[in-house]
Structure 1
Amino acid sequence: MSTKETKTREAICALGAKLAARGLCPGTSGNISARIDDGWLMTPTNSSLGELLPGQLSKLDLSGKHVGGDPPTKEALLHRSVYDVRPKDGAIVHLHCTHAVAISCLDPSCHHNKETTLPPITPYFVMRVGKLPLVPYFKPGDPKLADAIRDYAKGHRAVLLANHGPVVAGTSLSAASASIEELEETAKLHLLLQGFKVRLLSEAQVHEVEEAFPS
Structure 2
Amino acid sequence: MKRLLPIVCLGLAATPAAAHVPAGAYGSFAAGFTHPLFGLDHLLAMVTVGLWAGLLGGRAVWAVPTAFVAVMIAGFALALSGASLPVVEPMILASTVVLGLAVAFAVRVDLRVCAVVVGVFALFHGFAHGTELGGAGALRFGAGFVLATVLLHALGVAIGLLAGRIAGRNGGRWHIVTRGLGTGVAVAGVVLAFG
TM-score, L = length of structure 2: 0.30
**TM-score (norm: length of structure 1):** 0.28
Structure with max Cα Rg: 1
Higher helix share: 2
Structure with the higher strand share, 1 or 2: 1
